[in-house]
Structure 1
Amino acid sequence: MKEFEMLIQNYEPMIYKIMKTLNVYQRKEEFYQTGLIALWEAYQKFDAYKGSFSTFAYSYIRGRMLRDLQRNIRDEERNVYPKEEFWSMIEDDDADPLMQANGNILALCNECHLTKLQRKWVEYTCIHMLSVREIAEVEGVSISAVKRWKKEAKEKLRISLLSKA
């Protein structure tokens, strides 16, 4: 590991020089780390028969930083990250859509003249997303009783909705 630490000392100015030539002004620490990783990989892959290490390391580090710059640009183009002021300016018209849905569902139950048990089925199914078995467990009744509530409620709702259409 001492050998690589010496390599870092020798090639650190090269990493900073590449960052400067590529106009890296944001995320400098991230690109410095990219440079160190690229230096390590260049050190691992270097073949002395193909040329000098400094030339190989320069092109390897520069290529890795260019790839990361292109990736960052592509991500910024594809993704929009609004500033904090944007979120404070938005008014919340639909503060709680579940409450609005509850109101609409309960109003529909009133229009259809559902019984208390049929309303329970609608509420548990549409608002709480429970299955027939879960409703039976919560209410302490048989599954067939809940199925009966379901059948009767669906029929009344169907008739009411068809009459409106």
Structure 2
Amino acid sequence: MHSRQQPMITSILLKCHIYKDFEYYRHIAAIAVWEAWKKADPEKGLFSSYVYTTVKGEIMKELTREKQFEQHFTVMDDETLNVYRENQLEHEGAPVLLESIMPHLNMEERKLLVLFYLEGYSYAEITNELQLTVVAVKKRRVRLMIKLRQLLTLTEV
């Protein structure tokens, strides 16, 4: 990305009140700049205006998606998860249940399940291991929990 876009991106992020996950949103903005560059038509107006509108639009879309995600899913704190993990894994059928669930998970889901629930890794450790942001790990964990609940419901029937 051209360095001329950096101050504009920083300005948009601050105007959108983004103070956490700054690098995540900066990445979204960089992709938006690239998309704007690919689609730009000089006959329709200034490139700088088009880039600004495109970047701000993408940031606002991501903020909306994040808000909707938070409204639909409750992220459990570590203490709640530890109690849940201990109660579930102490159950004598857990190894058999785990074996029946694993084939239904993709490799990333399996790795996340093992790291977080079986080995007790923290978010920071998982982000280092999977090369993802904390936000991405949290979203993937919620999706994994939803999938596990669906799988557990199927195995109980």
Which residues of structure 1 form unaligned runs of 5+? 100-128, 130-165
Aligned with residue 9 of structure 1, among 3, 10, 17: 3
Aligned-residue CA RMSD (Å) = 2.3
Q: TM-score, normalised by structure 2?
A: 0.54
Task: Name the residue aligned to 1:35.
Answer: 29
What do the CA deviations read for 1:12-38 (whole angstroms, capped 9, x no partner)? Answer: 100010000000122111100110000
Distance 1:28 1:93 in 2: 36
- Tell me which amino acid in the other structure corresponds to 2:20: Q
- Tell me which amino acid in the other structure corresponds to 2:52: Y
Distance 1:95 1:72 in 2: 34
Percent identity over paired residues: 26
Runs of 4+ in 1 over 6 A off after TM superposition: none
Distance 1:67 1:81 in 2: 21
Distance 1:98 1:80 in 2: 27
Task: Name the residue aligned to 2:91.
Answer: 96
Report deviation, 1:88.
3.6
What do the CA deviations read for 1:50-72 (whole angstroms, capped 9, x no partner)? Answer: 11011110000000000011011
Aligned with residue 14 of structure 2, among 1, 13, 20: 20
Q: TM-score, normalised by structure 1?
A: 0.51
Report deviation, 1:81.
1.3
Task: Name the residue aligned to 2:49.
Answer: 55
Please identify the structure whose Cα radius of gyration is greater: 1
The 5 Å alignment of 1:64-79 reads 64-79=58-73
- Tell me which amino acid in the other structure corresponds to 2:87: D
What do the CA deviations read for 1:110-134 (whole angstroms, capped 9, x no partner)? Answer: xxxxxxxxxxxxxxxxxxx9xxxxx
Report deviation, 1:80.
1.2
Aligned with residue 81 of structure 1, among 58, 64, 75: 75
Distance 2:54 2:33 in 1: 7
Report deviation, 1:93.
8.4
Which residues of structure 2 form unaligned runs of 5+? 95-99, 101-157
Q: Which protein has greater RCO, CA pairs closer than 8 Å, 6+ apart?
A: 2
